[in-house]
Chain A
């Protein structure tokens, strides 16, 4: 077991790669001799990815071992796996982590430009690091809102309102009819709703070459005040995901009318269609302060470990997974939205239900591409939770956030000032 790691440590990455390439080349003949490729993905992508492998194995003779990594522990698992020399050959990375994993040297650069041809521009923009490609976009997940058609209609709405004030007004109307239930399903440890709101105000979250927080701004205050009002008016619950054991059931039972969420919810809606029939729900873009705007977007990207011993096979798998045909199959299986432009011209994606997704994914919010961003998001949401629970006022919270960000970015600031990183 330890053999694998020992072989790789103490040797430069380049020499390992060269050796590995030679190894892969020499093993082209009897494929069965090489160990299966290891592939990691998170949540549904991991659960369903095995369906995509038989075609690949049939075409190439390469076996693939798929592991589904729990989403709440993905970041630490991947980092420790890298540090321990145990990263899989191929894995799925959300776009926000590409910069981090590229910086530590975990990712093999995409070997040819044709891997990233024909990608939806926003997905590619999210994935590129200083114009370089370290991962191939696989699917794009813009945040949208799922809503209960029946509950909205009862309150006099056909579709959700598109400005914040009207959206909240709609929430009040629904709450008025059903005072014991909530309206908006956004939980206190889900940062994305708040971040979409922040993005929609057009604010710049960091300053001084992304080395300091920039939250003490009227825009942030505006977004926080709006976010807070959803909770003070009891339109959203003061609850964490550990408390709402089955959020989907709560939505299906009508305890919430609006759920800002991701395309992955499409699969739940399909799998649990017995709980909520198709005609009862719809999809719309998120409301913004003055109408639709940019919203948080996560793109899944397929990357190859810099230390893979089978780079050829690994890149062959990337090509297979990110092909239009495979992406369309995954769309059918789990509702993943393809990152290939071509896929969107085909009839399978020309359905009204996907329109809000297609529109929103052309207008993504661009998160700062720094290593610490993942952590900053979590910290901002933690402070927001304190605001919602009445432990901090908004100005206090924004000051706390800036202070916390400055602290988190201290190391980055020092390195930027020393000119070691940009």
Chain B
């Protein structure tokens, strides 16, 4: 350092930011770079025996993945989680937020906290509970269905029902988060517009459609995109509830990565999966920032 002595502020700034920056470098930047490198090698269990068994394979792992049926299955499952899950979760959040927003509802803070509680609980602990709620013979869900005159479903046993079953749980667990976000957005809807629409004789639906929705639209869109990123990272739910079954219908990308990496120790292949996940999330973030920008212009 040949520069003039640092100012007091500068010195303090480095003292304050240095440690966390160093940690970010060590446990995030470095490993992600290494993951990229690892994804280009055939690091497998044989490498645990002898480092000489590792070879550079270029994009071989990616080519291999594209030929692996289970990887496509995992991608498709994850996509299904997102496609079904986002409307379910966002719909539930919006419904709850609209309900809470109604002027006649009393004790709002109380309801708000109660509805938010599932969000802060441990996924593993509540997934265990839901596994029992979804039990075909003794579960509360099928009991409730019976009460409504519907036939019981083999929730975690039928490959076509397993993802909706897990989504029921996920929706229950996370809807409180966006509910809070949406309540805040709803309270920012301009009241004078609402009043004007009411005077124009707009119906309740009309007011929702033409006043509320445009006002909270950007928030809604942003929340949806962010939820997609969340659904891409589903792991604990299938790990605890279905072990990826039945018929691999709940193997997600991350579950696939975990099995490939830590169960079979194909770290090269698993890193390639991680990279693909990374690219997908990058793409979603790109969409997210685009929305953010358009948001700012409007």
Q: Does B262 contact A (CB under 8 A)?
A: yes
Known: A79-B262, A79-B263. A240 touches B157 (CB 8 A): yes
Q: How far is the CB of B3 from chain A (nearest CB, A)?
A: 37
User: Across the interface, do A188 and B246 meet the contact criterion of CB distance under 8 Å?
Assistant: yes
How many residues from A make CB contacts under 8 Å with B? 34
User: Across the interface, do A243 and B53 meet the contact criterion of CB distance under 8 Å?
Assistant: no
20 A-B Cβ contacts within 8 A? Answer: A75-B263, A79-B45, A79-B48, A80-B262, A100-B45, A104-B45, A188-B245, A188-B246, A189-B245, A242-B131, A242-B242, A243-B157, A371-B45, A371-B46, A385-B246, A385-B247, A407-B64, A407-B68, A411-B42, A421-B46
Q: Which B residues lie within 8 Å of A105 (CB)?
A: 48-49
- Fill in one digit per residue for B153-167: 1 if any A CB lies within 8 Å of its CB, else 0: 010110100000000
Of all chain A residues, which has the CB nearest B50? A420
User: Across the interface, do A391 and B68 meet the contact criterion of CB distance under 8 Å?
Assistant: no
Q: Which B residues lie within 8 Å of A188 (CB)?
A: 245-247
- Fill in one digit per residue for A52-91: 1 if any B CB lies within 8 Å of its CB, else 0: 0000000000000000000010011001101100000000
Q: Does B248 contact A (CB under 8 A)?
A: yes
Q: Which A residues lie within 8 Å of B243 (CB)?
A: 72, 189, 240, 242
Q: Which B residues lie within 8 Å of A80 (CB)?
A: 262
Q: How far is the CB of A348 from chain B (nearest CB, A)?
A: 38
Q: Does A25 contact B (CB under 8 A)?
A: no
Known: A79-B262, A79-B263, A243-B136. A389 touches B247 (CB 8 A): yes
Q: Which B residues lie within 8 Å of A382 (CB)?
A: 247-248
Known: A75-B263, A103-B49, A411-B44. A243 touches B156 (CB 8 A): yes
Q: Does B135 contact A (CB under 8 A)?
A: yes
Q: Which A residues lie within 8 Å of B154 (CB)?
A: 243
User: Across the interface, do B53 and A415 meet the contact criterion of CB distance under 8 Å?
Assistant: yes
- Fill in one digit per residue for A136-157: 1 if any B CB lies within 8 Å of its CB, else 0: 0000000000000000000000
A104 to B49, CA, bound (A): 4
**Interface SS majority for chain B:** loop
Q: How far is the CB of B162 from chain A (nearest CB, A)?
A: 10
Q: How far is the CB of A2 from chain B (nearest CB, A)?
A: 15
A407 to B63, CA, bound (A): 12
Q: Which B residues lie within 8 Å of A400 (CB)?
A: 69
A72 to B242, CA, bound (A): 12
User: Across the interface, do B157 and A420 meet the contact criterion of CB distance under 8 Å?
Assistant: no
User: Across the interface, do B46 and A82 meet the contact criterion of CB distance under 8 Å?
Assistant: no
Q: Does A239 contact B (CB under 8 A)?
A: yes
How many residues from B make CB contacts under 8 Å with A? 29
Q: Does A375 contact B (CB under 8 A)?
A: yes
User: Across the interface, do A82 and B263 meet the contact criterion of CB distance under 8 Å?
Assistant: no
Q: How far is the CB of B149 from chain A (nearest CB, A)?
A: 23
Q: Which B residues lie within 8 Å of A411 (CB)?
A: 42, 44, 46
Q: Does A12 contact B (CB under 8 A)?
A: no
Of all chain A residues, which has the CB nearest B52? A420
Q: How far is the CB of A79 from chain B (nearest CB, A)?
A: 6
A319 to B69, CA, bound (A): 46
Q: Which B residues lie within 8 Å of A420 (CB)?
A: 53
Q: How far is the CB of A95 from chain B (nearest CB, A)?
A: 18
A389 to B67, CA, bound (A): 23
Of all chain B residues, which has the CB nearest A391? B247
Of all chain A residues, which has the CB nearest B67? A407
Q: Which A residues lie within 8 Å of B143 (CB)?
A: none
Known: A240-B246, A242-B242, A243-B156. A415 touches B46 (CB 8 A): yes
Q: How far is the CB of B68 from chain A (nearest CB, A)?
A: 7
A105 to B48, CA, bound (A): 8
Q: Which A residues lie within 8 Å of B157 (CB)?
A: 239-240, 242-243
- Fill in one digit per residue for B108-119: 1 if any A CB lies within 8 Å of its CB, else 0: 000000000000
